[in-house]
């Protein structure tokens, strides 16, 4: 394909006219958007600040000085959430991939494991995370097993990993099943074994396809690590709670919420962009 050079061309008078029209249309649309935004946000803001309880809410939820004071303890707690997210995320990835592969395999030797994997997914996907955290957090130490730590951070992470592995396994499995059988036929006809076909042909495409839902799960994971606070782990949520109950000022909750948002929003934006960049490189249709 040869690229033709676009030189020695000046727009026709009709084109110049059209550009003028387009500019006028877009200016008008800009004005409409600005007016609409001002009206809607202005109304919401007015409702908020004229509400009878606004003065009290402002003091108890948006106390900037108190927010500044509790900031170091909340951010220290957030560090626990981040550690839990990354260490947990890694374990979840490994376990979920194993579960997904087990559930899609046809190998007769793995039949019992396939049943176990299915049962595992059914149980941990069906039970509320908070119950699993309580059961693991209080149940495992009660067993008094030697060699198993009764550290609450460790047990909380285990509970989160158990539940999320089931979810992520299903996401990966749906990705594997979404790859058209013709891809498998092509790989097998080249003499690749079923294992090689999975590893080099099916899985890379499947994972790429499920990156957006996996990212959703990763953001959920970061938020749900806050639930381990019920075991007494001093994470961001717990740190905020301690400070809030000490003074009956709820600003620490707002501080914690803002800190979570500061991490999750850029994370989703970044991955959206990464996905788009890769789609564009592989497919001409992705550019549309």
> Residue 214 CB, nearest distance to other proteins (Å)?
17
Cβ 191 to other proteins shortest distance, Å: 4
DSSP class of residue 202 equals I
> Which of 119, 146, 124 minimizes the C-alpha distance to 136?
124
Question: What CA–CA distances, in Å, run from 93 to 2, 89, 141?
Answer: 45, 6, 26
Q: Return the number of the residue (1 or 143) whose C-beta is nearest other proteins.
A: 1
Joined together, the tokens standing for residue 271 give 């991955």
* Residue ranges in 105-250 assigned as alpha helix (H): 111-126, 129-143, 152-178, 181-189, 194-196, 203-224, 236-247
Taking the least distance from each CB to other proteins, the nearer of 140 and 192 is: 192
Residue 283 interacts with other proteins (CB under 8 A): yes or no: yes
State which residue, 208 or 223, has the beta carbon closest to other proteins. Answer: 208
State in angstroms the smallest separation of the CB of 1 from other proteins.
9
Binding mask 183-222 for other proteins (x = CB under 8 A): x-xxxxxxxxx--x---xx--xx--x--------------
Q: Least CB distance from residue 189 to other proteins, whole Å? A: 4
CB-nearer residue toward other proteins: 139 or 204: 204
End-to-end Cα spacing for the chain: 20
Those residues with Cβ within 8 angstroms of residue 236's Cβ, 6 or more apart along the chain or in another chain: 74, 75, 77, 78, 80, 81, 226, 256, 259, 260
Give the binding range for other proteins (CB under 8 A) out of 37-45, 153-161, 249-257, 277-285. Answer: 277-285
Closer CB to other proteins, 97 or 192, in the complex: 192
* CA separation, residue 149 to residues 6, 155, 157, 165 (Å): 70, 8, 12, 21
Could you tell me the smallest distance in angstroms from the CB atom of residue 180 to other proteins? 8
Which residues of the shown chain bind other proteins in the complex (CB under 8 A)?
Answer: 182-183, 185-193, 196, 200-201, 204-205, 208, 281-285
């Amino acid at each position: 394909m040869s690229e033709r050079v676009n030189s020695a061309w000046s727009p026709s008078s009709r084109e110049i006219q059209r550009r003028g029209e387009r500019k006028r249309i877009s200016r008008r649309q800009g004005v409409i958007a600005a007016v609409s935004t001002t009206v809607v946000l202005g109304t919401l803001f007015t409702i908020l600040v004229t509400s009878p309880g606004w003065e009290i809410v402002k003091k108890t939820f948006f106390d900037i000085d108190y927010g500044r004071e509790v900031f170091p303890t909340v951010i220290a707690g957030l560090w626990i959430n981040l550690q839990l997210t990354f260490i947990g995320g890694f374990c979840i990835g490994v376990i979920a991939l194993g579960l997904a592969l087990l559930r899609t395999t046809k190998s007769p030797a793995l039949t019992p494991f396939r049943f176990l994997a299915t049962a595992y997914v059914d149980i941990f996907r069906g039970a509320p995370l908070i119950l699993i955290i309580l059961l693991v957090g209080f149940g495992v130490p009660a067993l008094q097993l030697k060699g198993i730590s009764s550290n609450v951070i460790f047990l909380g992470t285990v509970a989160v990993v158990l539940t999320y592995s089931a979810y992520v396994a299903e996401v990966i499995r749906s990705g594997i099943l979404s790859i058209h059988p013709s891809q498998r036929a092509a790989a097998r006809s080249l003499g690749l074994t079923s294992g090689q076909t999975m590893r080099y042909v099916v899985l890379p495409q499947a994972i790429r396809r499920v990156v957006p839902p996996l990212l959703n799960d990763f953001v959920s994971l970061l938020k749900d690590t806050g639930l381990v606070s019920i075991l007494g782990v001093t994470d961001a949520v717990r740190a905020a709670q301690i400070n809030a109950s000490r003074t009956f000022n709820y600003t620490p909750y707002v501080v914690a919420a803002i800190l979570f948002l500061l991490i999750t929003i850029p994370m989703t934006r970044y991955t959206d962009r990464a996905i788009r960049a890769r789609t564009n490189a592989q497919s001409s249709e992705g550019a549309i």
